[in-house]
A and B are shown apart, each in its own frame.
Chain A
Amino acid sequence: MWMFTVPFWMLTVQIMSAEQMIRAESLRRTFKAGRKTIEAVRDVSFDVAAGELVALLGPNGAGKSTTLRMLTTLLPPTAGSVHIAGFEAAREPRRVREAIGYVGQKNSSGENHRIRDELVTQGRCYGLRARDARRRADEVLESLGISGLAARTPGTLSGGQRRRVDIALGLVHSPRVLFLDEPSAGLDPRSRAGLWEQIQLLRREYGITILLTTHYLDEADQMAERIVIVDRGEVIANGTADALKADLAGDWMRVTTSDAGAARAAAGLAGRMTGISEIAIDGSTVHARIAAADAALPGYLRLLDQDSITVTRAGVRRPSLDDVFINLTGRRLEESGDAHETTADQPIGATHA
């Protein structure tokens, strides 16, 4: 049940929809750890247009959270600049803060506080009057399907419920831009699907601009309109999932012949086709990389037929984003996590709930 009232800024969004809502320019951020300097973000630039849903994809430790914290005024960049909705974050942090909602990587409702109390507090922090803050608290609870949790404390909620509460906290003031840091991390597949439904709904109904981070490939692949891949503090690719796959990985044709000799002959034929970028032989099977493999395969089969090469099996494979990442870095994304990924970040005070 969607009960948001249309906020006044919806009108302005329409007017400035051609504009960039998020602009990160040459962002850089280092941390001092003892005598060493950690380069968490080295060079990150990208834009997000109004109404877009963009995913920052990268392994653990790539610098996604640090980038998000710079975009949301929580962390001053070592170098570079941030513009949100036309305001420069370093000069007008207040205007930026008013425009954005942020859902951090950790849970954001206090252990001893009731969910609804926290939502009302959040609304008050954004300058809503007490009555409006209470109304908005009830509205977002309703819209995220968690009205029943209003009087509970976070300690009594499931992971999926807590994440929804976090998102509710980020939406209380009807932001124009929403930043979500790993919104679905640690959720079971069903909660993830539910969460994604909510996020898609937010976009459809209110045209909110969304930038989220994830290290789930399938999630970025299916949900985001555009993907910015970051690795070791740098943007290494930026485009739609389809474009990234086509440009940076290419499709594969796969043809199985009768024996290794025939496979070598088949590979030779593939080498003469235009657009082939890579050929690999695996026993009696030939793999050949080419753009739009489904369109190229019939032609390849005709060539093989003309040379009387027996084909027992043929197919095409669209590359995954994983292939894209491997092509760019030589590593698999899901294995290249940082050694010091946070595992036990139980807040110290979690016991006195």
Chain B
Amino acid sequence: MPDRLRDTATIFFREITPELRSPVSMFFTMGQPLLFLVLFGSMLVGADANLGAGTGDVWQWFVPGILVMMCLMGPLSAGHSMLSELNGGQLERLLVTPISRTSIIFGRTGKDTVTLFVQAILITAVAVPLGMELHLPGALATMGLLIVMAVGLSALSYVLAIASRPSGNLFWIVTQMLIFPIMLLSGILLPIDAGPGWLGTIAAINPITYVVDAARALFTGNLLEATVLHGLLAATAIAVIGLTLSTRAMKRGI
């Protein structure tokens, strides 16, 4: 077991080193969420939308959505880089060493999660001067919830990358077809209630919806709502499924 821990740390540090060497790149990959935050968010505020869960703070409604959006985009690019290392010789080079197979997934997922955590803190920090009222314990609880989901999503994107070899087509088809519907149908950018009934039905089977709702509740400091429990269950389910599938894929051999 300590071997596996050590191997996971080895992969984690391999993946995080380029980020540490040029921290600016991490900021650039945040471009889209930042843009959404500043432009879209300001518009929502300007339109005087009635979005907050009673509190009336549009930022507190919008920022958790952007954080979830990052948790969807981050794993996407992580899976993409895994795919290119699978097709190049990089992964093979690691697999020929005695390193534990699953540590390759755990190490990478760990790095993705740390990156997302740092980005989430940055987004939150940017939102405060824009006018968001920060509820610190609530914000931290939100991050905790999102980390659980991010672990699962990044593991799932690795499973998808492995299954897509060698062409990578499957990866693109699935991600292109899934990411945007998932994003729109989880109420990240606009409230689902505003749409027709069938939209609400689809949103109700989208696990991300529950995470978004939970994140919003937590963000305003409502730590003990049923929504939070549902979101936590959804995030945990995603994490368990992701880690189980990815571990199995690695053990079966690439």
Question: A residues engaging B (CB < 8 A)?
Answer: 72-76, 94, 97-98, 100, 102, 104-114, 117-118, 121-122, 124-127, 166, 169, 173, 345, 347-350, 352
- Contact for B10 among A110, A114, A124, CB less than 8 A: A124
- Contact for A350 among B84, B92, B97, CB less than 8 A: B84
Which residue in chain A gives the minimum CB-CB distance to B19? A112
- Contact for A125 among B81, B85, B97, B168, CB less than 8 A: B97
Complex A-B: 15 CB contacts under 8 Å: A73-B96, A74-B95, A100-B96, A102-B92, A108-B92, A109-B90, A110-B85, A117-B14, A117-B17, A124-B6, A124-B10, A125-B94, A125-B97, A125-B99, A347-B85
User: B92: which A residues are within 8 A, CB to CB?
Assistant: 74, 102, 104, 106, 108
B253 within 8 A of A: yes
User: B89: which A residues are within 8 A, CB to CB?
Assistant: 104-108, 166
| Distance in angstroms between the alpha carbons of A94 and B133 in the assembled complex | 55
- Is the contact region of chain B dominated by helix, strand, or loop, or is it mixed? helix
Knowing A74-B92, A108-B92, A349-B80, the reply to whether A127 touches B87 (Cβ < 8 A) is: no
- Which among A74, A105, A108, A166 has the highest number of chain B CB atoms within 10 Å? A108
Knowing A169-B93, A349-B81, the reply to whether A106 touches B88 (Cβ < 8 A) is: yes
* B96 and A110 contacting across the interface, CB-CB below 8 Å: no
- Which among B11, B92, B95, B96 has the highest number of chain A CB atoms within 10 Å? B96
> In the assembled complex, how far is the CB of residue A121 from the closest CB belonging to chain B, in whole angstroms?
4
| Proximity string of chain B (150-183) to chain A, C-beta cutoff 8 Å, 1 when within and 0 when not | 0000000000000000001000000000000000
Q: Which residues between 1 and 59 of chain B lie within 8 Å of chain A, taking CB atoms?
A: 6-7, 10-11, 13-14, 17-18, 21
User: B192: which A residues are within 8 A, CB to CB?
Assistant: none
Q: Which residues between 62 and 97 of chain B lie within 8 Å of chain A, taking CB atoms?
A: 80-81, 83-85, 87-90, 92-97
* A347 and B17 contacting across the interface, CB-CB below 8 Å: no
- Contact for B18 among A106, A113, A169, CB less than 8 A: A113
User: A350: which B residues are within 8 A, CB to CB?
Assistant: 84, 88
User: A352: which B residues are within 8 A, CB to CB?
Assistant: 81
User: A107: which B residues are within 8 A, CB to CB?
Assistant: 88-90
| Distance in angstroms between the alpha carbons of A350 and B168 in the assembled complex | 14
| Distance in angstroms between the alpha carbons of A348 and B168 in the assembled complex | 8
User: B6: which A residues are within 8 A, CB to CB?
Assistant: 124
| Distance in angstroms between the alpha carbons of A94 and B18 in the assembled complex | 29
User: A100: which B residues are within 8 A, CB to CB?
Assistant: 96
| Distance in angstroms between the alpha carbons of A282 and B7 in the assembled complex | 67
Question: What is the interface residue range for chain B against chain A?
Answer: 20 to 34
Q: Which residues between 170 and 213 of chain B lie within 8 Å of chain A, taking CB atoms?
A: none
* B98 and A125 contacting across the interface, CB-CB below 8 Å: yes
Given contacts A75-B253, A108-B90, A125-B10, 11 further A-B contacts (CB under 8 A): A74-B96, A97-B98, A108-B93, A114-B17, A122-B93, A124-B6, A126-B97, A127-B98, A349-B83, A349-B84, A350-B84
* B94 and A349 contacting across the interface, CB-CB below 8 Å: no
| Distance in angstroms between the alpha carbons of A122 and B81 in the assembled complex | 19
| Distance in angstroms between the alpha carbons of A111 and B97 in the assembled complex | 20
> In the assembled complex, how far is the CB of residue B83 from the closest CB belonging to chain A, in whole angstroms?
6
- Which among B11, B14, B90 has the highest number of chain A CB atoms within 10 Å? B90
User: B95: which A residues are within 8 A, CB to CB?
Assistant: 74
* A347 and B10 contacting across the interface, CB-CB below 8 Å: no
Which residue in chain B gives the minimum CB-CB distance to A173? B97
User: B11: which A residues are within 8 A, CB to CB?
Assistant: 121
> In the assembled complex, how far is the CB of residue A96 from the closest CB belonging to chain B, in whole angstroms?
9
| Distance in angstroms between the alpha carbons of A126 and B94 in the assembled complex | 10
Closest 9 CB pairs of A and B: A349-B84, A106-B89, A108-B93, A347-B88, A125-B97, A347-B84, A108-B89, A104-B89, A112-B18
